């Protein structure tokens, strides 16, 4: 019985190594492809970007303030959920009369 498990484990190890090798090859080729595309997209973006930045109006200011308020609210709720509250725990001893 131990031999059959050893054979199965060796077979699975070989299959896993083959799969990892193929996955590595796919990821390497995808990285090369995306690297080439990012260089081309970056050049086009730099050529189209104007040198002077536009000033944001009151709408941008309000949107930024709203985003900061939302993030602060989420952080406060997370803090309230994750903080320890000593009063929430009860003693193990119960008075049963």
pLDDT tens digits for range 46-89: 666 565 556 668 888 888 899 999 999 999 998 888 877 666 66
- Indicate the pTM of the whole model: 0.36
Indicate whether 14 belongs to any domain: yes
Q: What local confidence, expressed as pLDDT, does residue 96 receive?
A: 63
Position 89 in a domain: no
pLDDT digits (tens, 9 = 90+) for 28-47: 888 887 777 777 676 666 66
Say how far apart CA 86 and CA 97 lie, in whole Å.
26
Residue 25, domain member (yes or no): yes
Q: How confident is the model at residue 92 (pLDDT cuts 50, 70, 90)?
A: low
Considering its fold, how many domains does the chain have in total? 1
Does residue 19 sit within a domain? yes
Query: How distant is the alpha carbon of residue 13 from its chain centre?
Result: 29
Q: Residue 56's domain spans which residues?
A: 2-84
């Amino acid at each position: 019985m131990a031999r059959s498990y050893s054979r199965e484990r060796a077979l699975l190890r070989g299959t896993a190594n083959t799969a990892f090798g193929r996955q590595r090859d796919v990821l390497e080729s995808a990285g090369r492809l995306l690297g080439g595309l990012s260089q081309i997209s970056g050049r086009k973006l730099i050529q189209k970007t104007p040198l002077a930045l536009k000033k944001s109006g009151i709408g941008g200011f309000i949107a930024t303030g709203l985003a900061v308020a939302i993030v602060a609210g989420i952080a406060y709720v997370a803090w309230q959920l994750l903080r320890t509250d000593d009063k929430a725990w009860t003693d193990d001893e119960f008075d049963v009369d």
